[in-house]
Amino acid sequence: MNRVLVAGKLQEQPRVAYTPKGKKVITFPLWVEEEALSIEVVFKSQHGSEDLDKKVGSTILITGVLTKTKIKSHDVFRVEANKIAVMEE
């Protein structure tokens, strides 16, 4: 079973795109300070997380599946999120 739970800071404005079928795809880097690590997060949804653009700098919790892909001949790990929660500070 491939399941991850990651908490980190939303460091920059999420990028939003749409699939040909109209599904929203939100992509952003999640900064994990303890490990000095940036993880790419991809969240596909018909609804939800519309207010992430207002949460830059906030701590968020991501659950999802860890995947590996190649970008410009480099291996990149990303989390395909199925749930995103903004933590109260």
The answer to whether residue 6 scores a pLDDT higher than 90 is yes
Tell me the per-residue pLDDT of 14-56, one tens digit each, with 9 for 90 and over: 998 988 988 889 999 999 988 888 889 999 876 655 577 778 8
Locate the domains of the chain by residue range.
4-86
Q: What pLDDT does 50 receive?
A: 57
Instruction: Report the Cα–Cα distance between both ends of the chain, in Å, rounded.
Output: 32
- Topology annotation, domain 4-86: OB fold (Dihydrolipoamide Acetyltransferase, E2P) (2.40.50)
User: How many CA atoms lie less than 13 Å away from 65 in the CB half-sphere?
Assistant: 8
Tell me the per-residue pLDDT of 57-84, one tens digit each, with 9 for 90 and over: 889 999 999 998 887 887 777 999 999 9
Write down the pTM of the prediction. Answer: 0.82
DSSP codes joined into one string, the chain: ---EEEEEEE-SPPEEEE-TT--EEEEEEEEEGGGTEEEEEEEEESSS-GGGGG-TT-EEEEEEEEEEEEETTEEEEEEEEEEEEEPP-
